[in-house]
Amino acid sequence: MIKLKRILCPIDLYNDSDQPLAYAVALAQAYNARLVVCYCEKPAATSLPHLAGVTTSEIAYAMSRGRAKELFEGSLMKFLGPTAYASFNWDALIIEGEDVGEAITQTASEQHIDLIVMRSRRRPHRAALLGSTAESVCRTAPCPVLVTHADEREFLEGGNAIALKRLLVACDFSDYSELALRYAISLAQEHQAELHLLHVLPAGSVNEPELAWYPMGKDTAYHQAARRLQRAVSPDAHLWCNVKHAVAQGQPYREILSYATKHNIDLISLGAHGAGFGIHTLFGSNVDRVLRQAPCPVLVARPLKPISPTRDVTLDAEAVRLSPDDTSALLSSAVISPASILANFNSSADDTQRTGTLKYLPDSPGV
């Protein structure tokens, strides 16, 4: 069973963000998790038109007085009602960042989030070259990401009741795919849903049509994939869940989308491949394309990143304004040396996060 203790839901105060918030509230209630609602504001912004002229300084003042929740109470009340709202476990954050995706992933790391729930706005032509915020978060998030869309098949009933009936797992037998399968199995067990496993072979890998799974004296790529799919789920799972297997051939994202549409899938679960994202940044990976065109919500499975034992120093550009000379003087001081920062700056080949948070180890005791 998956355990969700903290759920992050980034919302947009300028536009309607009810859909991802509805999913976040439903999941928080189902798993008794704490919901963290956040809004990311760019440092250059001076006001929030949606909030009738409330300035950035006024928002900061409200946060310092513990009143940030007032900005989101109205949205939550739509799904909870007065009675449920009174006992609902949640918090509110206003964060700043030039890159919204980076700010969200940094917040998720700092808040020890187990799941991010956010919305993608389906801008395929722009996203094909630049990438959407949701795609950016899926590449670098320290936890799984549930992405919703405005025009899709929903698995919520009665406002915020989870009604999962059919889950699809895209299986390529990688480590990330195994993680996606574990999340899907847990959700299927929790909600007594059908579990569909789909593996897509490369186009042209099988010349003959699929006539039978086990023909005499023949073992094709179809049969090998089918057996691996059958072994992927333990026999115990069949006691409480109807498991279905399918092997297709062609472009993975097209076959996933086609299968989801044909079988009225409520949720697609697939793994995020760091190398794949890097290779296909310009034109979009299979995961990117599924996110943009999926007929239902998509769960992008990522492993939870452990909390770093190093100390964090966050430099707020608005609170601390340093000139180039001041910066050089700071770096040359005995408190924080350039070597200690560069040696411990958190960067990885697959998931590079540039967050404005410098991780360093002190050069001497007592620092």
Report DSSP letters for 4-73, one per residue: -SEEEEE--TTS--HHHHHHHHHHHHHTTPEEEEEEEE-TT--EEGGGTTEEHHHHHHHHHTT-GGGGTH
Q: pLDDT per residue over 69-102, tens digit each?
A: 877 888 898 889 888 999 999 999 888 888 999 9
Q: What is the pLDDT of residue 264?
A: 95
Interhelix angle 18-30/73-87, nearest 10 degrees: 10
Q: What is the pLDDT of residue 311?
A: 31
Average confidence (pLDDT) over 12-27: 81
Q: What is the pLDDT of residue 61?
A: 57
Average confidence (pLDDT) over 215-226: 76
Q: What b/e string do you get for 140-164 counting C-beta neighbours within 10 Å, with b at 16 or more?
A: bbbbbbbbbbeebbebbeeebebeb
Percent of the chain predicted with pLDDT > 70? 65
**357 or 227: whose pLDDT is higher?**
227
Reading the block at residue 156, the tokens are 């919520």
- The answer to whether residue 323 scores a pLDDT higher than 90 is no
Cα–Cα distance measured from residue 164 to residue 1, given in angstroms and rounded to the nearest whole number: 16
Q: What is the pLDDT of residue 90?
A: 95
Amino acid at 192: Q
Cα–Cα distance measured from residue 149 to residue 296, given in angstroms and rounded to the nearest whole number: 7
- Could you give the domains of the chain? 6-119 (3.40.50.620), 159-301 (3.40.50.620), 311-360 (no CATH)
Q: What is the pLDDT of residue 283?
A: 42
Confidence of residue 60 (pLDDT cuts 50, 70, 90): low
* Mean pLDDT for all residues in the chain: 74
Q: What is the pLDDT of residue 46?
A: 43
Q: pLDDT per residue over 331-366, tens digit each?
A: 443 343 334 333 333 333 333 333 333 332 333 333
Q: What is the pLDDT of residue 353?
A: 36
Query: What is the DSSP track for 90-151?
Result: EEEEEEE-SSHHHHHHHHHHHTT-SEEEEE----HHHHHHH--HHHHHHHH-SS-EEEE-SS
- The answer to whether residue 253 scores a pLDDT higher than 90 is yes
**332 or 24: whose pLDDT is higher?**
24
* Nearest alpha carbon to residue 112 among 273, 31, 1, 3: 3
- The answer to whether residue 192 scores a pLDDT higher than 80 is yes
- The answer to whether residue 165 scores a pLDDT higher than 50 is yes
Q: pLDDT per residue over 293-315, tens digit each?
A: 999 999 999 988 765 443 333 33
